[in-house]
Structure formats: C-alpha cells, structure tokens
Chain A
Amino acid sequence: MSGTAIQVRGLSKRFGQRTIMDQLDIDFAAGQFTVVLGPSGCGKSTLLRVIAGLEEADQGTVSIGGVDVTRTPPQSRGCAMVFQNYALYPHMSVRDNIGYALKLAGLERAERERRIGEAAELLGLRDLLERKPAQLSGGQRQRVAIGRAIARRQRVLLFDEPLSNLDAKLRHEMRMELRRLHNEIGATTIFVTHDQVEAMTLADRVVLLNQGQVEQADTPMALYHRPRSIFVAGFIGTPPMNVLTATHAGEDVAIDGGGTLRANVRTDKPTAVKIGIRPEAVELGATDGVAAKVEAVEDLGSHRVIYTRIGQQPVLAIDHGRRALIPNETVCLGFPPQAISWFHAANGERIEHTFKGRQV
C-alpha cells in the first residue's frame, strides 16, 4: 500500500473573532511521514481536522491524491485517524472497534477477520480482542486506536497528538513502533504533536507551525542545524539553541554585555544581529573565547548542562568533560564559527551568509 499526496492551498480558518490560520499552503508528499509541530494554539490540530473533514475551512482547498475534497464529508475522504484520547467506542470490544470501519466498507466477514487478525498481530493485541476499552491500559488503548486506523489500509493516516496521554517509557516504545509501522505500511502520514522529540525521531519531514503560519518545513536535521528563524531555534532542541544579542562589525561580533567573537563572515557597516549556537556546540574552557559566569550545573550522568551568563544573557553549554565547576566561577566559552546561526535582530529571520562558495 502506498500513500497519496495531500495539498492544502490558501487555507483560512477562524473561530469567532480568532483567526487560527490565514492563507496557509502546505504540501504533504506521498508516502512520507510528516510531523506537524508547534506550540499549543498554533493551529496544528485544526489543520489536521480540516484535512480529515471534521472541521470546515472558511477559505481554501484540500486535495488528496489530486482530488479536491474540500466539500467531501469525512466518511468519503479515505483517511484514517488516531485521536489524542483514542476515542475507542466504549460499547464495542476491541475486535468490533477495529472491525467497525471494515464492516461499513462492506467487507466480507472472512476478510474482516483476516485484517483484524493482521492488525492485532502487528500491534500485539491478539489476546485483547474480546475486551472492552474500559478493560485496557492506556498503552493498550493506544495500540487499538492505531490498529483501528491501519486495518482499513487507507492511503492517508492522521495522528492527533496520539502519544501525549502516555507515560514517558510507553511514549518511547510507541515512537519506535510507529516508525516501524510506517516503514511497513507506507501510507502518507501526518502526525500532529507539540513534542519536538517525537518530531525529530519520527519525521521524514517536519512542518513547524507558529500562529497558523509555516515557520519552517524541512527535514528534522535541517530544522535542528539550520533553523530559519529564532522561533525555530528556540522550539527545537532540549535545551534549545542559545540566542545572543550582538553587534556585527567587520569580522568581530561583540556580544552585548560581554566579550567579542571572531566570525568567519565580515560586514562593512556595524549591524545588530542575533547569533544562535546549540548548547552542545559551545566549547567549555576554550583558549580563545568569551568569558562567562557559571550559574548552575546539572549533572545528568551522560552529560552535564552548564548554565552560564555572558553579561545578562544566559548561555547553556552541554559538556562531557569531568572538570569540576563551581557557581560564580568564570569560564571561557568557545563559539566555533561554523556552528553559529545568524539572525536579523529586527525580525528574527535567518541570515544566509555565503562565503568561500559555501553556505554557513
């Protein structure tokens, strides 16, 4: 089973006075696992519900496989969906929950049983088929909800924050399982979440939404290493990217309230910029760097998170060394030029510097 492409064009949606999204264009490639990521209230769930047909768009079109489905009711769109609270029919057994859509689709009993069996096998639900949802644990309900969605073999699979009600360990297991399932099924998958770890680990492509607009749509690694705005830089990564206010003049970057870095790009007139650097790229105890004051140290065993300040600006560093650090100690932080992301101070958008024929 292969997926089908989805196009969203000029989508606008308002709830009363509140504009959720305005003129949104997004493409979802066939067979790809796309994670729609964003803070709560960014419109990601609304987007998913509009694609599913559960919510009507005020303007714009949705097409699935090249067919305009904007006015098609949800039951005729060929989508399967997993809900955040699972929405398993409480009065039906697991078998009937999975089989309900198959029955409505007019499949013969034998074929229905075969597909229910397959889905149950794939998700380890074999022994739970006769149970009611109330007799299942959260993780089991989650599996049933996924089983219900995949048993239909629809070309489009929609997930609305399906892991947010699970505990951390189960969430991790389900992430692995979902990725494995996607590789087996290959349906076009749209997965909505506010959890950037899910986005990083599951997605072929991440669409980061902010206030109904696409901040960046790219591979997880591109979002991580080359964020297109300060918003993206701050949203992706735990802890997020450090963003420092600075002035760029010549080849020098003077950090407000602190020292000066040497950059690998030059500017002719002094410009206010923001520079971003991932905590793990910050070099602790570099010989050539900026002085910072240690505020706190969190030791997580595998690594330490060092909380420092340059002037008033906080800088986090991830350190794998074992050197003793004490609060109020001054350390020297190195900022490797190739690890720095540049942003316009005014609007927070990324500045692409070209130098020596290569983009930074």
Chain B
Amino acid sequence: MKTSARFHGRWTPFALGLPQLALIALFFYWPTLKGLWWSFHLVCPFGHCSSFVGFDNYLRELKDANFYASLFSTAVFSLFGVGASVIVALVLAWMVELHQRSGRLFRYLLIWPYAVAGSVLGVILRVASSPSIGLMGYLNSVWPGFWQPHLNGTQAMTMVVFAFAWTQIPFDFIVLVAALRSIPADYMAAAAIDGAGPLRRFIDIQIPMIRPQLFFVATMNLIDSITNSFAIVDTMTQGGPGGATNILAYKIYRDGFIGLDLSGSSALSILLMLLVLAASAVQFVVFERQAKREA
C-alpha cells in the first residue's frame, strides 16, 4: 500500500480532508459532545447557564412513565415499520425477479420513491391520509368515524408505520433485488428440476440464501426507525394523539425545543445513541460470525 506516496509532507492530505473534517466536527462531534455534557448538567432553558448533577438527568428519565410510554411506542413503531418494510420489499423483489421481462421496468419504477425526502413524503401522506378529503374522506362519509388518526392512537401509529415503510422499501428493494440476482441460476434450476415451483423455490432456496442481506436491511431499517423517523412524525402526527406516536426521536425534539428541557432531552438522546450502538454491535457481531463461517 502506497497510501501517502503522492503527498509530500503530512499536512497536505490533512489539509485536503479539512473541509470534510470541519463539517463533521461542527455538525456531528460538537453537538454530540455538547449533548453528553448537557446530559450530566442541569441546563437553563436557553443553555446559557448550567450546574453539574451527575446521573440525575438519566435517573429522572428512567423513572418517568412518559419515557417508557415513548420507548413502547418506539418499539411498536420499529417492529411494525421494519417488518412491513422488509416483507413488502422482499415480495416486490421476488416478483420482479420472477418476471424477468417486465421486471426490468418495475425495477426502475420501484427504486424511484427512494429519491423522495422524508418530510415531502410526510406532507404527501398527510394529505393522502386526511380524514376529510380524498379516499379516506369518502370512506368516512360512508362509515362515519371509520378513519380518525387524530383521535385513534392505533390508526395514527398505522399511518406513521405506513409512511416509514414507504421510505424504507425502495432501499430494501434495491438490496434484495441485488441479493436475489446474485444467487447462481443453477441453484434455482436444480430446485426446479427437484420439483419445486416458484413459491417453494422462494421459501426453500432464495430466502435462506439471502439471509445475510435480509438481516442487513432489517438492521438498517431498525437504526433508521430509531433515529431518522423524526420528519415523518413531525409532519403527520406531532407525536399524537395522546402521545401514541411520540417515539423517542420525536420526544427528544419535543422535550428539548418545545419543553425547553435541554438536560433531559440530552440524556434521552444519549440513551438513544446507546440503543443504536447496541443494534450496530449486534449486526457487526453477526456479520463477523457469518464471514467466519463462510471462510
């Protein structure tokens, strides 16, 4: 490896990397450190004064029933969000692979939604799921009270799960299509000769063979559902009704910026970070083991 052969002196490469490093430091490391600092202090509403309180902020959050309610919402949201994303993406990928001829077109069409930003999608779905206009408005006029996401917590959760799945499916779809395509054709041929129809081949051969990729997209979805679901909740439900969709990522924002509890919010975000770290660690360990087994 001649990593530094082209650069003379040690400062040139550093200078080249500086803009990127500065951005990361300013918008990632600095807030993280600030959050860590705040989580151990009691901070004034606008952050200009503080006093050290040790783990009090954490203990306060861990004793708060709202925290557990939010954790539960997050768990429900993540579970159904990830499940729906992976399953729908898997079925779509399978169907596209099954029909090689028309599959090409659908492959491109199904990747497109990946380019839509979360908040834009939130607005679109907010209109689409409005109880007073469109399809849902019509259904409500037929069966009054059929669709009330602003009153019914389950319906609100269904709505944000649907929206979340919508954002994840294109990515999952790309990965899973690639995974299915990477299965050597002879395995499928052998299974067909063995008497397996398309569905049996899918269940017995394809799914077991793309298990690593399934696990990969599930973990990515899980991390996204914990950290990146703020925009969806903010545009669609603002955590309501009655905190039914007040998932952790949204609670952090609300406690900090609306409730002005910077300390508690910081403690929460550190807890969230630990959660994501744990998920990443599990993924890492599993992949290592897999790589070792295949080697």
Contact = CB atoms under 8 A, between A and B. Distances in A.
B187 A87 contact: yes
A346 interface: no
A81 B194 CA distance: 8
Contacts of B186: 83-85, 87
Contact of B189 (A54, A88, A91): A54
A231 interface: no
A104 B194 CA distance: 8
A340 interface: no
A110 interface: no
Of the four ranges (under 10, 10 to 19, 20 to 34, 35 or more), the interface on chain B belongs to 10 to 19
Contact of B192 (A74, A85, A105): A74
Interface stretch (B9-17, B50-58, B202-210): B202-210
B109 to A, nearest CB: 25
A150 to B, nearest CB: 13
Contacts of B205: 89
Contacts of B193: 52, 54, 74-75, 79-81, 101
Interface residues of A, number: 26
Contact of A73 (B184, B192, B200, B294): B192
A88 B118 CA distance: 43
B195 A90 contact: no
Contacts of A80: 193
A74 B56 CA distance: 68
Contacts of B187: 87, 89
Prevailing SS type, chain B contact patch: helix
Given A85-B184, A87-B184, A91-B209, A74 B200 contact: no
B208 to A, nearest CB: 4
A100 interface: yes
Contact of A104 (B189, B190, B200): B200
Contacts, number: 59
A206 to B, nearest CB: 24
Interface in B144-198: 184, 186-187, 189-197
A74 B197 CA distance: 9
B208 A105 contact: no
A56 B18 CA distance: 58
Contacts of A152: 194
A101 B195 contact: yes
Nearest to A83: B186
B192 A91 contact: no
A81 B197 CA distance: 16
Given A75-B196, A101-B195, A104-B196, A83 B209 contact: no
Given A87-B184, A89-B205, A91-B208, A100 B194 contact: yes
B208 A75 contact: no
Nearest to A79: B193
Given A89-B187, A90-B209, A104-B200, A54 B192 contact: yes
A75 B189 contact: no
Contact of A87 (B190, B195, B294): B190
A60 B1 CA distance: 58
Interface string A80-124: 110111011111000000001100110000000000000000000
13 contacts: A49-B189, A52-B193, A75-B193, A75-B197, A81-B193, A84-B186, A85-B186, A87-B189, A89-B187, A89-B204, A101-B195, A104-B194, A104-B195
Given A49-B189, A87-B184, A148-B194, 14 more contacts: A73-B197, A75-B192, A75-B194, A75-B195, A76-B195, A80-B193, A81-B189, A81-B193, A83-B190, A84-B186, A89-B205, A90-B209, A91-B209, A100-B196
Interface of A: 49, 52-54, 73-76, 79-81, 83-85, 87-91, 100-101, 104-105, 134, 148, 152
Q: Which 5 A-B pairs have the closest CB atoms?
A: A101-B194, A87-B186, A87-B190, A104-B195, A74-B192
